[in-house]
Amino acid sequence: MKTRKSRGHPVLILGGGRGGSALLEMFLDDPLVEVIGIADPSPDAPGIRLALAHAIPTHTDALAAMRACKDHQDCIIYNLTHDEAIPAQANEVFGDKHVTSGPEAKLFWQMVTHLKQVKIELEKSQNQLQAIIRNVMDGIVTVDASGEIQGFNPAAEKIFGYTQREVLGQNITMFIPPGDRTTFEATIQHYLDSEADNTAEVRSREIVAVRKNGELFPVELSASAMMLGGLRYFVGIVRDITERKLAEQKITHLAHYDLLTDLPNRALFLDRLATSVALAKRGHHMMATLFLDLDGFKQVNDTHGHDVGDMLLRGVSIRLTKSIRSSDTVARIGGDEFTFILNNIGAEENALAVADKIIAALAPPFDFGGRICKVGGSIGIAIFPDDADSAETLVKQADEAMYLSKQSGKNTRRLYRDVLAPANAKS
C-alpha cells in the first residue's frame, strides 16, 4: 500500500461537536499537524462548518472517513464520539491502530478547551497591554543591560522626535547631552552592579534630555530593572516636563516680582538687601538704600484714571532701571513707592549723585497717546555702615529721610543724617 505524505502529521477527527471544533481550531494554527478529515453525522456541527471554511474534507460517517484516510498509515485518530465500535473499525482499516477515545479523548478535549481559553485570555491581556503602551501619554523605553534600546512606544517617538525604527538597537545615551553621558552611564552601571537584580529603580528623577533636533529639554525619569528570560532589562518611563517647569518658573517669578512693573517686589528686595549688607560687612565697603515716593502720582490717577496710572508706573520703572547699574537693584514695594540697593558706592556723594540722576530721569513728561503726565520723586537715603548695619534699619531710615524730602518741597533727596539734624540738611 502506498503511503501518502502530509505537510504535517496527519490527524483525523471523529466528532464535530464542541470538542472536535476546539481541537480542529487548535490544529489549524499548528504547522506540525495536518487535519486530513473530520466526521460528524450532522452537517451543521461546528467542527464540520469550520472544516468546510478551511477546505478540509468532511464526512458524515466515521468508518467512511477512516477509509478515505487509509493511505495515511501514520494517521492519529481522535475519537470524540461515544461510538464504542470506532476502535475496532480503525483496526479493520489501519491494522493495529490505537485510537484516542473515551476518557482519554475527554481529558484531551478538556485540555484543549482550557488551553483555548487561556490563549484567548492571554491574547486579550496582550492586546490590552499593547493598547496601553501605544496610547499612554508617557514615553516607555526598554533597554537591555548594555544600554541598547529594545522598545520605544509612540509617546516616546513624540517626545524625542525619533521613530521607533530609528532608535531600536541604538544606545540609550543618544537621548543624553554629551556633557552628561558619563554621569548617566555611571548611574546605569550602579544599578547593574546592584545585588538586588530585580529591585533596582529610579523614581521621578529630573534630568536633561536631547531631542532629535538637538533641543535640550527637562524630563522626569522613572526606571526599574527586570529579569526576563535570564536577561536583565531596564524599563524607563519618561515624561516631558517642559510645560511644568515653565509654570513653576512663572509661579516663582510671580512670587518675587511685581506683577505690574516686573520689578523685584518687597520680599525679593529685602532678601537682596540682606545679602548686600552681609557682603558689605565682609568686604568692608559702603552701600546705600534709597526710598523713592513719586510726587504727583495721585493727581495723574484722579485726572486720567487707573489705566493711565498703571502705564505711568511701568514707564517710571523703565526709567528707574536705566538710572542704576546692573549690579544694583530697584524694586516696587507697593503703590508709587520704590526702593533701591546701591552696592559698593565708595562714598556717600556717589549715592547722592545716583539720587539726582533718578530725579532727573523722572523730569521729562510722559506722553500716553496725547495724555501728558508729569511726576517727580522724593528720595530718602540711608548709608551702610554710617547710619545702620542691618537691612531692616536701613529701610526704616531711608523711609524717614524720604518723608523729610516731602516736607522740604518734594522732588529732592535727603540723607538720614538730615533727619537727625534738619537744620544742617543739604539741598
Q: Report the distance separating Cα 232 and Cα 144, nearest Å.
A: 6
Q: Are residues 237 and 273 in the same domain?
A: no
CB atoms inside a 10 Å sphere around CB 93: 16
Summarised one tens digit per residue, pLDDT across range 192-201 is 666 444 455 6
Q: Are residues 296 and 409 in the same domain?
A: yes
Q: Any idea what the CATH number is for the domain that residue 99 is in?
A: 3.40.50.720
pLDDT of 418 above 90? yes
Any domain includes 22: yes
Q: Report the distance separating Cα 391 and Cα 384, nearest Å.
A: 9
Summarised one tens digit per residue, pLDDT across range 249-262 is 999 999 999 999 99
Summarised one tens digit per residue, pLDDT across range 29-73 is 788 889 999 999 999 999 999 999 999 999 999 999 988 988 887
Q: Are strands 76-79 and 139-144 parallel, antiparallel or unpaired?
A: unpaired
Domain boundary among 213, 244, 275: 244
Domain boundary among 192, 210, 244: 244
Residue with cell 552611564: 185
* Interval 201-208 mean pLDDT: 80
Q: Are residues 283 and 396 in the same domain?
A: yes
Q: Are residues 333 and 308 in the same domain?
A: yes
pLDDT of 417 above 90? yes
pLDDT confidence of residue 310: 95
Q: Are 380 and 405 a contacting pair, CB within 8 Å? A: yes
Any domain includes 326: yes
Give the residue numbers spanning the domain of 414: 257-424
Q: Are residues 319 and 361 in the same domain?
A: yes
φ, ψ at 215 (rounded to 5°): -70, 130
Any domain includes 276: yes
pLDDT of 1 above 50? no
Any domain includes 292: yes
pLDDT confidence of residue 85: 85
Residue with cell 518675587: 256
Any domain includes 199: yes
Poorest-pLDDT segment among 202-206, 335-339, 383-387: 202-206
- Within 13 A of 156's CA, how many CA atoms are on the CB side? 24
Q: Are residues 170 and 286 in the same domain?
A: no
Domain boundary among 47, 82, 115: 115
Q: Are residues 277 and 355 in the same domain?
A: yes
Any domain includes 59: yes
Q: Report the distance separating Cα 156 and Cα 238, nearest Å.
A: 7
Report the candidate in 98, 106, 16, 93 with the shortest Cα–Cα distance to residue 57: 16
- Surface-to-core class of residue 1, CB atoms within 10 Å of its CB (0-12 exposed, 13-18 middle, 19+ buried): exposed
DSSP designation for 241: -
Cis peptide before 385 (omega within 30 of 0): yes
Q: Are residues 264 and 396 in the same domain?
A: yes
pLDDT confidence of residue 134: 64
* Interval 122-146 mean pLDDT: 75
Q: Are residues 239 and 268 in the same domain?
A: no
Residue type, 171: N
Q: Are strands 33-39 and 58-59 parallel, antiparallel or unpaired?
A: parallel
Any domain includes 250: no
Any domain includes 296: yes
Domain count, the chain: 3
Poorest-pLDDT segment among 64-78, 98-112, 144-158, 299-313: 98-112
Output 149 or 227, whichever has higher pLDDT.
149
Q: Any idea what the CATH number is for the domain that residue 291 is in?
A: 3.30.70.270
DSSP designation for 309: H
Q: Any idea what the CATH number is for the domain that residue 145 is in?
A: 3.30.450.20
Distances (CA, A) of 279 to 17, 41, 81, 235, 391: 93, 102, 99, 49, 12
Q: Are residues 44 and 77 in the same domain?
A: yes
Q: Are residues 165 and 140 in the same domain?
A: yes
* Interval 214-232 mean pLDDT: 87
Q: Are residues 104 and 147 in the same domain?
A: no
Poorest-pLDDT segment among 154-168, 219-233, 342-356, 404-418: 219-233
pLDDT band at 102 (very low <50, low <70, confident <90, very high): low
* Interval 200-208 mean pLDDT: 78
Q: Report the distance separating Cα 154 and Cα 169, nearest Å.
A: 17
